[in-house]
């Protein structure tokens, strides 16, 4: 079910019903992963909501907007008790309006801040992932930029997308040792 990345976005009530039904189907104490990403799909109904289908990401609205994060903000405003029942993963780090990676400190910060702003304080980002690594910056630099924001409390965990094991090992060496270190 595409929610926002479509010429005719789904009405809020229809989207909210789908989100609620997925969360409500889970056993007590289990969180639903709200996963955003630039090349994913709604493959596991009732277990995974993906931004490409219209839930959370910096660039997953028609025209590469934050429409899906804004949809989630409206959902959590109407149903605040559901925020703690979800784990929100947001991909970002692209040049605004195009799916070209920009792993600069300034752009990653802009991406995280745009995602936080779109959520309007309704839900914290649990995991932030760069959609793709920027070849102009080493993984150590990009992980360092993201670690700065973990230490600032902007989100809790760092994820990597479309990378191999060696890249993960290199990123892990520069991970944050804050209260909630995770990469």
Confidence of residue 36 (pLDDT cuts 50, 70, 90): low
* Residue the block writes with tokens 């009732």: 46
Confidence of residue 6 (pLDDT cuts 50, 70, 90): low
Residue 51 has pLDDT above 50, yes or no: no
Q: Which of 5-9, 10-14, 88-92 shows the lowest mean pLDDT across its residues?
A: 5-9
Q: Given this model, what pLDDT does residue 161 score?
A: 86
Q: Which of 42, 59, 60, 155 is catalytic?
A: 60
Q: Given this model, what pLDDT does residue 98 score?
A: 79
Q: Given this model, what pLDDT does residue 10 score?
A: 84
Query: Model pTM?
Result: 0.81
| Tens-place pLDDT, residues 102-127 | 999 999 999 999 999 999 999 999 99
Spatial strand order of the sheet with 86-92 comes to: 48-50, 32-35, 86-92, 127-130, 157-160
137 catalytic residue (yes or no):
no
Q: Which domains does the chain have, with CATH numbers?
A: 12-172 (3.20.20.100)
Rounded to whole angstroms, the Cα distance separating 94 from 91 reads 9
| Tens-place pLDDT, residues 74-103 | 999 999 999 999 999 998 998 887 788 999
Average pLDDT, the chain: 81
């Amino acid at each position: 079910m595409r929610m926002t990345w479509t010429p005719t976005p789904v009405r809020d009530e229809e989207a909210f019903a789908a989100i609620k039904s997925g969360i409500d189907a889970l056993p007590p104490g289990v969180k639903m992963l709200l996963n955003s990403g630039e090349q994913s799909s709604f493959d596991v109904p009732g277990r995974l909501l993906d931004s490409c289908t219209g839930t959370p990401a910096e660039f997953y609205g028609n025209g590469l907007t934050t429409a899906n994060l804004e949809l989630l903000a409206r959902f959590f405003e109407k149903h605040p008790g559901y925020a703690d029942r979800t784990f929100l993963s947001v991909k970002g780090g692209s040049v605004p309006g195009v799916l070209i990676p920009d792993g600069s400190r300034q752009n990653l910060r802009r991406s995280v801040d745009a995602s936080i702003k779109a959520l309007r304080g309704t839900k914290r980002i649990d995991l932030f992932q760069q959609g793709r690594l920027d070849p102009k910056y080493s993984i150590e630099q990009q992980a360092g930029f993201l670690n700065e924001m973990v230490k600032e409390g902007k989100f809790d965990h760092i994820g990597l997308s479309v990378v191999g094991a060696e890249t993960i090992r290199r990123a892990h060496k520069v991970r944050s040792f804050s209260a909630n270190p995770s990469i």
